[in-house]
Amino acid sequence: MNLEELFKENKEQTIQGRYLTLEHIQPLLDKLNTNNQVKLIGKSVLDKPIYSYEVGSGDTRIYLWSQMHGNESTTTKALFDFINVLNSKTDLAAKLLDTFTFYCIPILNPDGAALYTRENANKIDLNRDSQNLTQPESNVLRKVFEDFKPHYCFNLHDQRTIYGAGDFGKPATVSFLAPSYNEEREVNDNRLKAINLIAGINDILQEYIPGQVGRFDDSFNINCIGDTFQFLGVPTILFEAGHYSGDYSREITRKFIFFSLISAFRILSENDLVDNRFYDYLNISQNKVVFYDFMYKNIKINYDGIEIITNFVAQYKEELIENKIHFNAYIAEVGELENYFGHFEYDGEGASYSDDYSNFPNLNQKADFYLNKNIKFVNGLIKS
């Protein structure tokens, strides 16, 4: 199977970029709803609809939800690309629909999606509410779990650009976790199913993004939804869409999430999960905080008359302004930062720092500055 071709043919062209709300996906849901496959399954804190889309008639039930965190839209885009495959009337579609029943919640947190926040409108992180179930969105997710009785859960997220796969200077473009079901982080049959599936997806991804797959920390936290569902006996896989070089709109990472979904269902449909692949799973690089968006090296700074040559870093803040996400770079840290990398790196070779206020990069100020008074940086990047 040519995954690149499959993606090209099925990419949902009407959605793109980072800001993805109910309004953006409503036309898609309307188009999909030919025979009541789309259902209103609940309301958010601000009374917005939470929709599900159910398709397929197979015995293996797959539950997928995305945008539990409102500003994590990459997996939602990939989910619609995958849904296009399911509706493509091809042999592949027929096989998938015959093997599986898919229950999808494309945007679980529509208020957070509109506000571009991780949390819901009550400022609650829904991924810490799986025991107390204080929020309407948490209850919707849980009720489907109980009624649909999935064989597998796919917990779809984005992660920030700060994560690398290991500490080799490679971004964690896609990361996975088979969450623990107990404090001891033991492996039972259900967790092993999730582990084996991740190992299988990783085999495929390594062909396309070698060294850019990460494995998330498996500390047990029953308040997290993945840990709860794993604890309740259903193999659960956390997907984290991360950074690919230069791809701040996450259109390239979207493709790799699509590859991951296709690969997962191919592995499951071929019943290719017989071996114990625990050690292959452990060999996936650990997801680690090792990146900033910008790193400037060997910069001469003047602090109270003392000159030193050091490094500094800047980080984008994603700011929602008039329905658009703006990536604004701010100074984040000054120092050697020896175990860190920049997605953008610049070696100043001793050039002197200055900005409109001082000769020292102040934390949280916009990354607008000069080197040797003649190379101008605006919003982190060289202005030509």
- Which stretches of the chain bind Zn ion, using CB under 5 A? 69, 72, 157
CB of 159 or CB of 190, closer to Zn ion? 159
C-alpha angle with apex 253: 289 to 65, nearest 5 degrees? 90
CB of 157 to Zn ion, least distance (A): 3
Return the structure tokens found at 284.
């996936």
Between strands 287-289 and 163-165, the pairing is antiparallel
CB of 242 to Zn ion, least distance (A): 11
Cβ 49 vs Cβ 33: under 8 Å:
no
CB of 72 or CB of 293, closer to Zn ion? 72
Nearest Cα neighbor of 235 from 172, 145, 136 is 145
CB of 107 to Zn ion, least distance (A): 13
Q: What is the rounded CA–CA span in Å between residue 95 and residue 365? A: 54
CB of 164 or CB of 361, closer to Zn ion? 164
Task: Point out the residue whose Cβ comes nearest to Zn ion.
Answer: 157
CB contact burial 118-142 (16+ within 10 A = b; e otherwise)? bbbbeebbbbebbeeeebbbbebbb
Nearest Cα neighbor of 317 from 308, 307, 328, 306 is 328
H helix intervals, the chain = 3-10, 22-32, 74-86, 91-99, 110-115, 136-148, 189-208, 225-231, 251-269, 278-282
CB of 123 or CB of 373, closer to Zn ion? 123
CB of 166 or CB of 242, closer to Zn ion? 242
CB of 224 to Zn ion, least distance (A): 10
Between strands 306-321 and 291-303, the pairing is antiparallel
CB of 12 or CB of 72, closer to Zn ion? 72
CB of 18 or CB of 157, closer to Zn ion? 157
Return the structure tokens found at 197.
């599936």
CB of 294 to Zn ion, least distance (A): 24
CB of 72 to Zn ion, least distance (A): 5
CB of 163 or CB of 265, closer to Zn ion? 163
Phi/psi at 23 (5° precision)? -60, -35
* Residue 38, beta-bridge partner list: 53
Q: What is the rounded CA–CA span in Å between residue 106 and residue 290? A: 30
CB of 4 to Zn ion, least distance (A): 27
CB of 221 to Zn ion, least distance (A): 13
CB of 69 to Zn ion, least distance (A): 4
Q: Give the strands of the sheet with 341-347, arranged side by side.
A: 324-334, 306-321, 291-303, 341-347
* Residue 310, beta-bridge partner list: 299
CB of 157 or CB of 193, closer to Zn ion? 157
